[in-house]
Homo-oligomer: A and B are copies of this chain.
Amino acid sequence: MDSAIPLHLRTTRTRHKRVPDDYQPPYPSFVARHKPSVSRVVMAYFGVQYRGAPPAVATHALTWIGERFGAGDAPSHWDRAQYVDQAGYANVISVAYWDDVASFDRWFVSARDGWLGDHRAGEGCGFFIEVIRPSVDTYETLFSSLGRPEGIAVLADDMSGEVQEHAYWGGMRDRIPLSQTSEMAPQGTVRVVRDGSRIRVLAPDNLCLIRSGQDWSDTESGERAMYLDDVEPVLRDGMDFLRDEGTAIGCYANRYVDVVAADGGKTEKSYGMSWWKSLAALERWAESHPTHVRIFGAAMKYLSTLGPAAKLRLYHEVTVVRADEQYFEYLNCHRQTGLLNAADLGTESAG
């Protein structure tokens, strides 16, 4: 049985994991393994926001950034997703991943200006950028099956064998290498710096991001019906709760999005992506909110029964981010967009 924490990131513990050394999970799960030379990665979300049908500005912007993702210092992987948010706006989000920060830094300067530079101000669409650049000891991944990596795991050198730290409450924390020595407690508050119509958000230390996805494209008949009829509506309830009522429990923002195919068509993949005040706040929601408890219970039962035979693929990536590893910028976006949803826009300071 593997540990989720790779050998080169193991350290003398000052904090214990939640299960004993002889713990045996009831079904297999796997984590992404980077080369030991990778010390830091970049996860960058580029959003465009509009009402109704896509305006030409949005279409052009999406084409433009797609080309940038293929140019010099390009990300190792990117994908695109879309959803209609609580204010009725369509949002298209392109997510890109690097495992070379210097490469990202070179790429980002002109990409940032192109995506939401001053020329965007009068174009009528909202644009945003949400970037984190975490150290490899501050995030974890989890996959219910092998063979189809998603997100940051596409950049990984390999996948682990079956890991021990999963299928119990607290496994998420135990998979993050930094949990060996740190509580990863939040520090500070959400602050806003306004520069005209442009808003930068400065979020607390140890802000937490989860991207949690499902891929039902391989499921058939009974399993497909089970996912679409029984699981997905419950998942959606949980996602809606986080979107609409999350701030009271430390969820700054939640997006439940449909992955878009490379040709712009539909896929049978979705993910929830949410920003949290802390890993602890995410843990509490996951453990106590009826919708997520039902999801977890269903997944436990399902995967315990089917194991590797399950065709439904589940994965997630969870990151705890230091304040100096974050970049949030919003232009012409409504107040419930991303971290703006957690900011008190009446008390921002001038940039």
Contact = CB atoms under 8 A, between A and B. Distances in A.
Contacts of A183: 16, 20
What is the interface residue range for chain A against chain B? 20 to 34
Given A168-B288, A287-B169, A185 B297 contact: no
A15 interface: yes
A308 interface: no
Interface in A82-133: none
A15 B18 contact: no
A18 B18 contact: yes
A61 interface: no
A281 to B, nearest CB: 9
A19 B173 CA distance: 12
Contacts of A235: none
Interface string A5-38: 0000000000110111001001000000000000
Interface string A247-289: 0000000000000000000000000000000101000100110
Interface in A150-196: 167-170, 183, 185
Q: Is the interface of A mostly helix, strand, loop or mixed?
A: loop
A20 B185 contact: yes
Task: Please tell me how many copies of the chain the complex holds.
Answer: 2
A231 to B, nearest CB: 15
A301 interface: yes
A300 B288 CA distance: 7
B169 A280 contact: no
A55 interface: no
A5 to B, nearest CB: 17
A237 to B, nearest CB: 14
A293 interface: yes
Contacts of A297: 290, 293-294
A247 to B, nearest CB: 15
Interface of A: 15-16, 18-20, 23, 26, 167-170, 183, 185, 278, 280, 284, 287-288, 290, 293-294, 296-297, 300-301
5 contacts: A16-B183, A168-B288, A169-B170, A288-B300, A293-B296
